[in-house]
Amino acid sequence: MPRKLVRDVWTENNWDERKIRAAVLPVGVENDVVEEIMRIPISEANKDVAHWAPTPQGNFTSSSAWDLIRHQQESMEMGAVFNSSLVIDRIQNHLQLAILARKILVTQWKGLSSTTSFKFPRPRRSNASGTRVVRWQLPQHNWTKLNIAGAFLGTTSPAGGEGIIRDEHGNILRGFAEQFDARSGMEVVLKALIKGVDMAKSFGKNIWIETDSQEVVGMVGTRNQGAAEHRHTLTAIRNVLKGCQCKFSHIPKIGNRIANLLANRGGRKAHQNIFDQESAPPWIRALARMDQ
């Protein structure tokens, strides 16, 4: 489209609609654009200057407008437009905003002197401990999950062991809590494991065994021979696991809370306590629902 000035479409102090349409409609400009042009007020006292110009490719951009202004406008002294104090104030304001947005840190400012005192936000607390959320995980389809724990307070006090077996929906299939004759906390957990696996096998051969004892996972899960005092118990565990597809995992105590609470209670009761989804104490069912 050939370049047009306002005077080319201006007749007798008014826009000439016929000339505007003849200039823009052939190149696909919509009627509503013509109407917008007609509504632009024009003062004849002002100089006719193009403020937006196309690039050689025919596109309108801010850079093409700037090129036109840069070449057409008369040169002027910078002091007539900019006030140095205003410029400095604006720079300081932008710096302060960048500091508050933590884009500029106090460590980056270190060693620099300034007549302006910038306000730096307090440093955020870093999560150096690597805190992570611990959650009990459901077993996969056609698997059962056995969580075990043991409570050992010394050779003069009864030891308690516990196991709770749940299905892929988190429902309690079977659970137990009872006293065990043991000489260490490790032995309590190993004996609870034998008891739990023997129960879990009646619900299927795919068993996920989980405990908060890393030592037990290390010995049983990797077929470690273990200390001499535990070798007979480990042999019994491997015998009871024959024919099963098992996997072992460690979970912190907070994720194994039902097993730990039951283990503590098991040590205080001389008789064995066995339960399922219907007969489990209300507090166990409530905790199991929270895990789902």
CATH number for the domain spanning 149: value is 3.30.420.10
Do 147 and 163 contact (CB within 8 A), yes or no? yes
| pLDDT given for residue 73 in this prediction | 47
In terms of phi and psi (left: phi > 0; alpha: psi -120 to 50; beta: otherwise), the region of 142 is left
148 and 68 within one domain: no
Confidence of residue 223 (pLDDT cuts 50, 70, 90): low
| pLDDT given for residue 238 in this prediction | 86
| pLDDT given for residue 81 in this prediction | 54
- 135 contact partners, CB below 8 Å, separation of at least 6: 255, 291
66 and 154 within one domain: no
What is the Cα–Cα distance from 261 to 263, expressed in whole angstroms? 5
175 and 285 within one domain: yes
- Our CA angle for 7, 12, 13, nearest 5°, is 70
**Would you say residue 237 lies in a domain?**
yes
148 and 285 within one domain: yes
**Would you say residue 248 lies in a domain?**
yes
Is the predicted pLDDT of residue 147 greater than 90, yes or no?
yes
DSSP character at residue 60: B
| pLDDT given for residue 122 in this prediction | 73
153 and 52 within one domain: no
**Three-state DSSP state, 51:** coil
Which spans in the chain are helix H?
17-24, 31-38, 62-72, 84-100, 106-109, 185-200, 214-221, 231-240, 257-266, 282-291
Model confidence over 243-253: pLDDT tens digits? 999 999 999 88
Is the predicted pLDDT of residue 84 greater than 70, yes or no?
no
Pairing mode of beta strands 206-211, 144-151: parallel
Q: Which of 72, 104, 119 is the last residue of a domain?
A: 72
Model confidence over 39-65: pLDDT tens digits? 777 666 666 555 555 566 655 555 655
Q: Summarize the confidence of residues 87-112 as an average pLDDT.
A: 72
Q: Summarize the confidence of residues 155-168 as an average pLDDT.
A: 84
Q: Which of 29, 57, 72 is the last residue of a domain?
A: 72
User: How many domains does the chain contain in total?
Assistant: 2
**Would you say residue 115 lies in a domain?**
no
| pLDDT given for residue 277 in this prediction | 92
**Would you say residue 85 lies in a domain?**
no
Lowest-pLDDT range, 131-140, 152-161, 204-213? 152-161
Q: Which residue has the higher pLDDT, 25 or 15?
A: 15
Q: Summarize the confidence of residues 223-234 as an average pLDDT.
A: 75
**Would you say residue 265 lies in a domain?**
yes
C-beta atoms surrounding 53 within 10 Å: 17
Tell me the average pLDDT of the chain. 77
Confidence of residue 166 (pLDDT cuts 50, 70, 90): very high
**Would you say residue 58 lies in a domain?**
yes
C-beta atoms surrounding 162 within 10 Å: 30
Q: Which of 37, 72, 107 is the last residue of a domain?
A: 72
Model confidence over 256-289: pLDDT tens digits? 888 878 777 655 565 678 999 999 888 888 888 8
* Two tokens, residue 126: 């870093």
Lowest-pLDDT range, 169-183, 197-211, 223-237? 223-237
Strands (E) across 125-281 are located at 144-151, 159-166, 172-180, 206-211, 245-250, 273-275
DSSP character at residue 7: G
Do 148 and 196 contact (CB within 8 A), yes or no? yes
| pLDDT given for residue 168 in this prediction | 94
| pLDDT given for residue 256 in this prediction | 85
**Would you say residue 160 lies in a domain?**
yes
Pairing mode of beta strands 144-151, 159-166: antiparallel
**Would you say residue 39 lies in a domain?**
yes
Residues of the domain holding 48: 6-72
151 and 248 within one domain: yes
Confidence of residue 34 (pLDDT cuts 50, 70, 90): confident
Is the predicted pLDDT of residue 69 greater than 60, yes or no?
no
| pLDDT given for residue 231 in this prediction | 80
C-beta atoms surrounding 275 within 10 Å: 17
